[in-house]
Amino acid sequence: MIDGMALSDIFSNLQILIRWSHVLVGILWLGNLYVLNSLIAPLRNAAGAQLENTANSALMLRALNWIRWSALLTVMLGVTLLVMTYFYVPGAGLGPSGMFLDGRSMSSRALWIFFGMAVAMVMFFNVWFVAEPALKKLLLGRAASQEISFLRRRTVGSIRAAMILSGPMLFGMLAPAHYGAINFASVLAAMILGSLVLWGLARI
């Protein structure tokens, strides 16, 4: 018999809808970020301005737009989900929930989420305010000849940094439900191992 109770709780249904949307647009963000990195890396040593006048430019600009807006939407949905999960109690209103507090201290689950969100915000800032202006200036032919080399290095470095940081970020997002405990050693391991795995992939 199918349980009809799942449809009677509006808050729970809204929360799972936002969680699903958060994961979906997060996949779009990271997927396009990985693709853009794999497109930029083989071209980073290319000489001349012809790089900005090929079909690759249109493809990279399209990928960049997907990255920017999916990153923004991922962050917005993530903050909404954070409030709904950790700072709202159905029937009681806004305030720390049982998920946020473990006695009088912040729960391990909440600490992992805040770790993941902190890394995600660095990635977001990197994409919006470092990589995007530099790459768009290159692809639209607005860069002066003396700054092309610098902008290419900046673009490749910032996109690669965002990709590498996605490793520890994803660990921080998955750990609350699948790992639990948190201490300095586990955070350090997440940072090092997660970064190393994505650093290796970024160099392929």
pLDDT in tens, 73-119: 999 999 999 999 999 888 888 988 888 888 888 899 999 999 999 99
Q: Is residue 4 part of a domain?
A: no
Contacts of 15 (CB under 8 A, 6+ apart): 81, 84, 85
Polymer length of the chain: 204
* 43 pLDDT tier (thresholds 50, 70, 90): low
- In the predicted structure, residue 41 carries a pLDDT above the cut 70: no
pLDDT, residue 142, reads 80
Nearest one of 69, 60, 62, 67 to 40, comparing CA atoms: 60
pLDDT, residue 12, reads 85
Q: Is residue 3 part of a domain?
A: no
Q: Is residue 2 part of a domain?
A: no
Q: Is residue 156 part of a domain?
A: yes
Q: Which structural domain, as residue segments, surrounds residue 142? A: 9-202
- In the predicted structure, residue 34 carries a pLDDT above the cut 80: yes
Q: Is residue 37 part of a domain?
A: yes
Provide the domain count of the chain.
1
Whether 169 contacts 162, CB under 8 Å = no
- In the predicted structure, residue 167 carries a pLDDT above the cut 70: yes
Q: Is residue 35 part of a domain?
A: yes
pLDDT, residue 48, reads 47
Range in 15-24, 144-153, 165-174, 187-196 with the lowest mean pLDDT: 144-153
